[in-house]
Each structure stands twice: as C-alpha cells, then as structure tokens.
Chains A and B, each alone.
Chain A
C-alpha cells in the first residue's frame, strides 16, 4: 500500500523560501503524477503543481513564478520550493499522488497527512 510521508519547516518569515519533501513508500513514481496541494486555515483546496516520473512539471499559473517541484528517483521522494513567501502562503501543504489515464491527469487518490506552514514575522 502506497504511503506518502512529508516533512519540512513549519515556520517561516516573509520573503523566505518554503521547502517541503515527500517520500513515497510502497510504490513507484512511474505511471502517476506527484502533486502538491495546499489549504489555508479554514478554507478550500488549491492545486500548486505536479511532476511526473520523467521530471516533467506543470504548475498553477497563479504560483508558477515562485514554484519549483523536483524529483529524486534514487531516494523515492519529490520536493516543493516556494520562494518569496508572504502571510497569504500560510496553509497546510499536502503531497498527493495523482492518477494518470490515457496520458491525462486523473483524480488525486493518495494524500500525505499534510504539513502546516505558517508565515509570520
């Protein structure tokens, strides 16, 4: 059974870079998209972006200028970097497996437990 275990700094100051890593246990990167999704406190869900096993990425245009998602297949993990953070980036960040169907994205089927990241001076 595939599990996602994530970690990273939980408290940052404005203008710093958010860094999170997600390890994939019990499965392979191949055949899926690997995503980050965030949820501000008490609010809804926002898709940040994805990476596939080849390292090809796709980002939400609203965050594209600040986001990098990368992959380390030797360690079976993928990572998120979000630069120049502000208070509006305060959220629970989830790493999420996305299924692939006929080469197109499918639903998000496995979620990490989430990491609360707070941006405060």
Chain B
C-alpha cells in the first residue's frame, strides 16, 4: 500500500495569514504516461463529510475559492491557503489514487491562532 504522511498533525494560523500543509507519499504517484500526479486534497469540517478541494495535485475543484492551491510532484505535495478565513477551520486530508488500495493521509487539523 502507498502510505501518505501529512505534516504537521495540527496547525494554528492567524486570520489572513498563510497556512501550509504537507503530504508525502511512500512512492511516486506521478503517472509517466500522462505526467499527472494522482493526488487529491479534501477539507472536512466538523460533523460533515469530506469535500473535494484539489485534484491532479494542483487543479481546483469548481467552486473552491482561489485562496486554496495545491503544488508538488512525485512524492512531495503541499496544500496552501493563501489568506486564512474563519470558515477554513477544518481537518485536511491528502489522498492518492495512483493505485489500489486508495489511501489517505492521517489528516491535519487547522485552527485559528
């Protein structure tokens, strides 16, 4: 199985500041035939199901605010929130869909400082 490891486990950021969450896969999830990274980011607010934010490592899902961005390739990826808003308090998960079983990171809890 591909192990997804996120850092940090929790993060407190001031409103309006940048938040950065990292995700590392135990093997490359870059598919050479199409040069795409098979990685998604999800946001889960308390008591709700996860919501897809980013796919192909850097493509924003329609309707997701542009303060959310994804970057990285191969085994190292980053989710950045450029200017933290109160409604961004949540747990964030990365997930690989390169091969089965599909696996998630352990989650990063984002709070307001």
Residue positions of A touching B, CB distance < 8 A: 44-47, 58, 60-62, 94, 99, 102, 104-109, 111-114
Complex CA distance for A111 and B100, rounded to whole angstroms: 20
A44-B106, A45-B93, A102-B34 are contacts. A108–B100 as well, Cβ < 8 Å?
Answer: no
Q: Which residues of chain B from 52 to 93 have any CB-CB distance to chain A below 8 Å in the complex?
A: 52, 55, 61, 93
- CB–CB B104/A111 < 8 A: no
Residues on A with C-beta less than 8 A from B100 are 58, 60, 105
Q: A108-B95, A109-B61, A113-B49 are in contact. Are A47 and B101 (CB under 8 A)?
A: yes
Q: Determine if B23 is an interface residue (Cβ-Cβ < 8 Å).
A: no
Chain B residues with CB under 8 A of A58: 100
- Distance in angstroms from A120 CB to nearest chain B CB is 22
Looking at chain B's contact residues, is the secondary structure mostly helix, strand, loop, or mixed?
A: loop
Whether B51 lies near A44 (C-beta < 8 A) is no
Q: Which residue of B lies closest to A102 (CB)?
A: B34
Separation in Å of the A24 CB from the closest CB of chain B? 15
Q: B97 touches which one: A45, A60, A107, A112 (CB < 8 A)?
A: A107
Binding site for A on B (CB under 8 A): 34, 40, 42, 49-52, 55, 61, 93, 95, 97, 100-107
Tell me the bound Cα distance from A96 to B40 in angstroms.
14
Partner of B104, one of A44, A106, A112, A114: A44
Q: Is the CB of B103 within 8 A of A47?
A: yes
Report Cα–Cα, A98/B23, bound state, in Å: 21
A107→B93 contact, CB < 8 A:
no
Known: A106-B97, A107-B40, A109-B61. A47 touches B49 (CB 8 A): no
Contact of B49 among A46, A61, A112 (CB under 8 A): A112
In the bound assembly, the distance between CA atoms of A46 and B50 in angstroms comes to 12
- In contact, B51 and A111 (Cβ under 8 angstroms): yes
Q: Write out the residue numbers on chain B whose beta carbons fall within 8 Å of the beta carbon of A106.
A: 55, 97
CA distance A61 to B1 in the complex (A): 10
Q: Is the CB of B49 within 8 A of A111?
A: yes
A104 CA / B100 CA spacing, docked (Å): 11
> Which of B34, B50, B101 is most buried by chain A, counting CB atoms within 10 A of its CB?
B101
